[in-house]
Structure 1
Amino acid sequence: MTTLPGLGYVTLGAEDLAAAQAFYDATLAPLGLRRLHEFENWTGYGREDDPGGQTIWVCKPFDGAPAQAGNGVMIGFYAPTPDVVDAFHAAALAQGGACEGPPGLRPQYGEGWYAAYVRDPQGNKLACVRTPPG
């Protein structure tokens, strides 16, 4: 039996795909994620060096109902340094995102935990976290 590694993809709904693309193009760039896939009403982000790897999809909902952010749902991205967390947060705000927690240490989660929290223009909550090595 073959075991697949970890998470394959995440899908986030967006009513205004052009606005979502502008937001995610800028916000995911500091993490090394870029737009790799596009087709009608769908945009996929991933790593250029791993095009078949994990993907973040942004799309209009398939069922045609309005896109809505999930209460209690948050997508977290790991960052290699606090500077990347800062860049993620700044890019998100510059593209119309809302701050849900500025970059900084979060000792309540552990020593050295550095994170920032934002909402995209659709209301989806995102985190960017630099955890200490080990």
Structure 2
Amino acid sequence: MLLYVTLGATDLERSGRFYDAALATLGIERRVTEDDELGYAYPSDTRCRLWVLTPYDGKPASFGNGSMVTLEAPSRAAVASFHAAALANGGADEGAPGLRPFHEHFYACYVRDPDGNKLSAVCERAE
């Protein structure tokens, strides 16, 4: 359903360190590095689905209240690794890894990237 998602960044070098570390735990890799954008994809994907970029209008990056990008994790261990890597690379905790009440196997964590964008990693498998 989604073609791609973009997230604004104030400092791409800082954001690159955060996203490279956090997304690697989910098997997602950086494929594009430009002066104004970074592109990420799964190894099996033919195109980048997540872009981190400086805003086109030249204004400072900001986050949307109520906005969140949720990434699929292959295991509960990957959710925990994502959370730890995010915090170790400038992210902020918004909810430690654990089961949530959305359904029986909804295991998630929540973080903010260095610019305040909210991210979640979720495993919906029984493990």
> What TM-score results when the alignment is normalised by the length of structure 2?
0.95
Whether the aligned pair in 2 keeps the contact of 1:111 and 1:132 (CA below 8 Å) is: no
Residue in structure 2 matched with residue 61 of structure 1 by the alignment: 55
Are 2:40 and 1:36 equivalent residues in the alignment?
A: no
Structure 1 SS opposite 2:82:
helix
Match of residue 103, structure 2, among 81, 86, 110: 110
Structure 1 residue 30: Cα displacement: 1.1
Structure 1 residue 67: Cα displacement: 0.3
Write the distance in 1 (CA, Å) between the matches of 2:32 and 2:46: 9
TM alignment of 1:1-134, pairs within 5 A: 6-52=1-47, 54-106=48-100, 108-132=101-125
Q: Which amino acid aligns with 2:14?
A: A
Specify the structure having the higher radius of gyration (Cα): 1
Structure 1 residue 47: Cα displacement: 1.6
Q: Which amino acid aligns with 2:81?
A: A
Q: Which amino acid aligns with 2:106?
A: W
Large movers: runs of 4+ above 3 Å: none
Whether the aligned pair in 2 keeps the contact of 1:36 and 1:51 (CA below 8 Å) is: no
How many residue pairs are counted as aligned between the two chains? 126
> What TM-score results when the alignment is normalised by the length of structure 1?
0.90
Whether the aligned pair in 1 keeps the contact of 2:12 and 2:36 (CA below 8 Å) is: yes
Whether the aligned pair in 1 keeps the contact of 2:75 and 2:125 (CA below 8 Å) is: no
Q: Which amino acid aligns with 1:39?
A: E
Write the distance in 2 (CA, Å) between the matches of 1:43 and 1:132: 30
